[in-house]
Structures are given as structure tokens and as C-alpha cells.
Structure 1
Amino acid sequence: MRLFLLPISTRRSLIYCERLHDRLASERTWLDKITNKANEMWVAWEKDEKSFKRWKKTITVYGNKAFKQIPYEEWGLKTIPALTAKRKSAVVEGKEKVEVMFPGLFLQEKKVPSILLQLATERQALHRKRMLWSIFGMPITIPFILVPVIPNIPFFYLVFRAYSHWKALQGSKHLEFILKTKLLKTIPSSELDEVYTAGLMYSTREISRNAPRPTQHQIEEISKVVDKQTNDGSEDVMVLQRWNGKLIAERFKLPEMEVEIERAVEQVERAIKGKEELVEEKRELERATAAPGQTNGEKAAEIPLEKRSEQVEKEIDDVAKK
């Protein structure tokens, strides 16, 4: 089993699990078969144009919007398989290797275990509680079965959320077990360093694809620029672009990874932007309520967020030109 720890910003990371050996059809459980069938049905509904008033496609449109609101941490934990007795013994006996890859110049190796432990443990209580809420809510949706033509969407949504929380909970327990056994092998990836650097150097996927690979000097310099912009860790700085998810997925031949990265980047961008807007509002309020002698003091000397972003882009452009 191989894990990817992908920093989205300097403070938030996505965990993604690649199974090196997919199960044979004969080895799949009934839960695997139901999940695969549901995924196939959802894809078919997305393309359905013939249903009454296109209700199937309409449901998938609103459903996909709802999926985007599910925290990326939950999606990431769901990629980690449940810890079965067979898998546990395989890990302990050394029959199954567990390794984690990460961009070594954009994420310090010594921080990897603590980040993984936080991802494994901080949401367990939340997933357990919300799984139970979803299960307890299912009987309440029974009256919706009387609606003609359209299936009981509220019931199936609660089923999905209960399953999703259960899957994330199992994934978090598996990750926690791996960390406790101390059998996880950390692997700084030069390939990830390259893709991350290209994402910061270039403005689009097409330019990045056609440009030469970043040199080691450029990678090191841009990682220093990013580190500098965090102001000794006090600022959260984006290190991954949304369009860059496809390039990472292509580099490691994991097409399913693309949507996970794009979703995570969108959510982190929104969170950082919201926090910056709150900070800026607070500064505006402080400037408005401060005494006249203070308005030209330290608060006026603070660098606006827009100027800080321009400085980052300028420093990265300077490195790219070298």
C-alpha cells in the first residue's frame, strides 16, 4: 500500500492512498459490489437526457455540488482501506509494505508523522457521531417513498453519508494503526518536488506541460520563496494549484487522484480567502476606530494582502527566469 501526503498549503495536507494490488472480482465483498454498482448508476444518471424532466441528471448536478462541500479530509481518509485482520497481520509480519511519498522540499520529513497522526485521529469522533446521526435519520425519510416516479432521495443521501463517515472512520483507524506500529516508510519524492515547482512557476497546465522540467536550483529557490512568505510559519500559503492536480495524477498514473486534489485545493483556497477577508475587515475596523495618531503608525505600515501576493509572484518569476 502506498500513501501520498500532498501539501495543499503550508498548513494543510491531503492524504491519498493507492492500492498496489486491486482485489480480484471473486474477492470483492458485497459492500464493494454495492459501491461499484452505485457508482455506475450515478455515472449513467449524469448522462441521462430521457428521464421525465431530466430528473436523473438534475439530481446528479445538485448531488455533485453537495459532494464538493464534503471536507477533503473525509474524501482522503476514504481512500484508505478498512483494517481487516488479514491486512493487520500482513503489515505486522512485513508481508505488506506501507510507504508514504511527499514533496520533500515543500514538506519537512520530520513533520510527516505528526501530520499523518493528526489526519488519523482528529476527525474520528466526528465521523462516528455523524454516522450515527445519519443512521438514526433514515427512518424519518420513509414518508418520502410515497412521492411518485422519483426515488426516496433523502433516504439514499443519508445512506451515502452514513457509509461515507464509516469508510472515513475505518481509514483513519487503519492509518493510526500503521503509525503505532512504526512500520511506515517515508519517501521524499523528487518527482513531486518538480510538479509542485512547475505549478508555482507557470500559470497554466499547457504552459507547464510544454516547458522544460524545473532544475534542482529552481526547485530549491522556489521552496525558499514559499518558506519566506509564511513569515516563520505564521501565514498559510498555497503551494498547489488546482490545475496541477491532473499533472500529478498523470505523473503517477492515478487518474482518480485528480478530482481529490482539485476538490482539496478549492476548499483550502476558499478557507484561506475567508480568513484573509476576516483579517482585513478587522484591520479596517481597527483603523476606523483608532485615534488619529495611530492611523499612520504600525497598522498603516502593514502590507496589504494583494501586495503580498504580488510579491510572491514576482519572486517566483525571478527564480523562473534564472
Structure 2
Amino acid sequence: MRLFALPLTRARPGHSALVYYLAHFPPPKLPQKPETWASRLVKSAAHKAADTWDRWGKAPASNWKYKVHSFGVNAQARLEFEELALKAIHPSWGPPIPSGGKGAKELESSNGARTIQIPLIHPTSFGPIVKRPPLKDLEAYANFRAPKHQRLFWLYAIASPFTLPFTLIPIIPNIPFFFCVWRAWSNYRAFKAATYLSDLVASKAVIGAPSAQLEAIYSDSISRLRQSNMHNSEPSMVLDKTAITLLIEAFMLPPEISHELDRAIEQTALRTAKTDPTPEKKR
């Protein structure tokens, strides 16, 4: 398992730096087991739901199916990149955390060596950019996101039963119910991932891994952003889209990560472009 701390913006007075925390690990090689009827049923339902969703996207623009599909696509696009990054973390794929959560002792073997070492790869200039050490920022990030997603999970979970009266409307599915269930499940996954990261840091399983190769990518990115900046001030952004391709190639990351990093950069640009941006709650 590898963790990447990728600054997107500089820390400014009253504004924390935005950092994309990427977790990468290969899917576990599980032994092949006979497929049960329950797994076949779930797989069949998932395929049917995906096919239905695709058909709705191909319906006429005036049809309610197309409008629902467009709403779903737009809702997905508006999700915070932090939530999407957390949802991509599968705690079951990573190293197990000993019972005790944040009170767990440092993971050590009998000879005192750490049994688990997860590198947190970051540019060497992370500290000057973010104004906080990488491990401290990861800890603050996880501790901020976990309760936020836990609150949202309960909000949507509690709200979902109140949408049941919409089932009385003929023909049209109960869209509010499915939306609440989807948002509850999404926030639950983000909450579990943030808790997992917090426990990894508390167990001292994560170690800082400054990378000169990543620093070179950031240095070139900042140079490009300075050249394209119309003002004389230092640009807030530190990572551009050109750097994403170099990052993926340099660290042999899956190509699909490019889409998520593109989304993160676009959202970050919108946040920093506001005349009086509302900073993320101080971590």
C-alpha cells in the first residue's frame, strides 16, 4: 500500500492548503471460491441497474428518464474530491489495524521493528507549501473528514424513510429515496476510510517518504503556473493537469486516477477563483 500527499494549493492566511490524499494498492489476490446464489443475485442486480441507467441516458431529452440521468451525472460531478478520494480507499485491502483504534500501540514485532510501514510519498517542499508536516496534515485531514461524513451519513439515513410517500406517485421511481440511500452509502464509505487513515497514523504505521522525483514534477508545474499567471502574485495553485500524466507515469499509477485528479484540480480552481472564498474549516 502506498499513500501520496499531493498539494493542490498553497496555505494562505485563514485558508488551509488543499491536499489530495491518494491511496494506491493492488487489489488483493483472493482465492477463487464457488459463486453462491446470493453473489449471483447481487451481480445480476448490479448489471441490470447499470444497463437501466445507461438506457436512461439515451432516452429523449424531454423524457423524465433522461432528466433523472442528467441529475445523477451532475450530482456525481458536484461531489467534493475529498469524498471521492476517500471512497476509493478500501480498508479491507490494506493492512489490518489492531483492536483499540486510536489507543492501539505502535505496531512492533518482538525485536522492536515496525511490522507495517506504509510510505506517505510527498514532494520535499510539502512543508513550505502546506505549512505543516505531511504526517500532521494527514492526521488533521482524516480527523476532520471522519466526523463530517459520519454526520452526513446519519442525516441521509434518517431522511430516507421520509421519502417513502413518493412511492405513491405512479410510473416515476422514488428518486428522493434512492438519492438519500446513495448519499448515505457514499458518506459511510468515506467515513470508514477516513477512520482507517486516522488509525493508521495513530498506530504509527505511516512513515514520511519525501520524493525528489515528485518534487521535480511539482517544480515544473509551479513554473508553468507562474508563467500562465496574469498577476504578479504567487499563484495559489501548485499542481496543473500536465503534471498528472507525469505523476501517473513516474509512479506507475492506474490511468483512471487521471480523471479523479482532473476533477480535483477543476474543483480547486473554482474554490480559489472566488473573490472571497470560504476556506475549508480550519483543521
Above 0.5 in TM-score? yes
Task: Give 1:98-117 correspondences, 5 Å limit.
Answer: 98-107=118-127, 111-117=133-139
Change (3 A) 1:62 1:111: same
2:160 corresponds to 1:138: yes
Q: Distance in 1 between matches of 2:85 and 2:47?
A: 17
Match of 2:276 among 275, 278, 285: 278
Q: Distance in 1 between matches of 2:78 and 2:140?
A: 21
Q: Which amino acid aligns with 2:82?
A: E
For residue 16 of structure 1, what is the aligned residue in structure 2? 22
Of Structure 1 and Structure 2, the greater helix share is in: 1
Match of 2:201 among 179, 185, 190: 179
Change (3 A) 1:55 1:80: same
- Cα deviation, 1:290-320, whole Å, max 9, x if unaligned, reads xxxxxxxxxxxxxxxxxxxxxxxxxxxxxxx
Match of 1:66 among 75, 97, 100: 75
Q: Which amino acid aligns with 1:238?
A: M
Q: Distance in 2 between matches of 1:250 and 1:46?
A: 32
Q: Distance in 2 between matches of 1:182 and 1:157?
A: 38
Change (3 A) 1:74 1:150: same
Q: Which amino acid aligns with 1:45?
A: W
Q: Distance in 1 between matches of 2:94 and 2:122?
A: 28
Q: Distance in 2 between matches of 1:70 and 1:49?
A: 20
Aligned residues: 247
Matched position secondary structure for 1:159 = helix
Q: Distance in 2 between matches of 1:119 and 1:269?
A: 20
Matched position secondary structure for 1:182 = coil
Change (3 A) 1:51 1:26: farther
Task: Give 1:10-49 correspondences, 5 Å limit.
Answer: 10=10, 11-22=17-28, 24=30, 41-42=49-50, 45-46=53-54
Change (3 A) 1:197 1:58: farther
Unaligned runs of 5+ in 1: 204-221, 223-227, 231-235, 280-322
2:144 corresponds to 1:122: yes
Quote the sequence identity (%).
25
For residue 87 of structure 2, what is the aligned residue in structure 1? 78
Task: Give 1:259-274 correspondences, 5 Å limit.
Answer: 259-274=259-274
Q: Distance in 1 between matches of 2:210 and 2:95?
A: 29
- Cα deviation, 1:68-91, whole Å, max 9, x if unaligned, reads 322222222222223799712499
- Cα deviation, 1:90-140, whole Å, max 9, x if unaligned, reads 993655542211222355597101110111101222222211111111111
2:176 corresponds to 1:154: yes
For residue 7 of structure 2, what is the aligned residue in structure 1? 7
Question: How far has the Cα of 1:247 moved from its partner?
Answer: 4.2
Question: How far has the Cα of 1:143 moved from its partner?
Answer: 2.2
| Cα-Cα RMSD | 3.9
Matched position secondary structure for 1:117 = helix
Question: How far has the Cα of 1:181 moved from its partner?
Answer: 1.4
For residue 248 of structure 1, what is the aligned residue in structure 2? 247
Q: Distance in 1 between matches of 2:125 and 2:48?
A: 39
- Cα deviation, 1:262-301, whole Å, max 9, x if unaligned, reads 2221222112111xx139xxxxxxxxxxxxxxxxxxxxxx
Matched position secondary structure for 1:87 = coil
Unaligned runs of 5+ in 2: 11-16, 100-105, 227-231, 278-283
Q: Which amino acid aligns with 1:240?
A: L
Q: Distance in 1 between matches of 2:197 and 2:63?
A: 42
Matched position secondary structure for 1:88 = coil
- Give the structure, 1 or 2, with the largest relative contact order (CA under 8 Å, sep 6 or more): 2
- Cα deviation, 1:194-252, whole Å, max 9, x if unaligned, reads 3333434458xxxxxxxxxxxxxxxxxx8xxxxx956xxxxx71001245434433443
Q: Which amino acid aligns with 2:151?
A: K
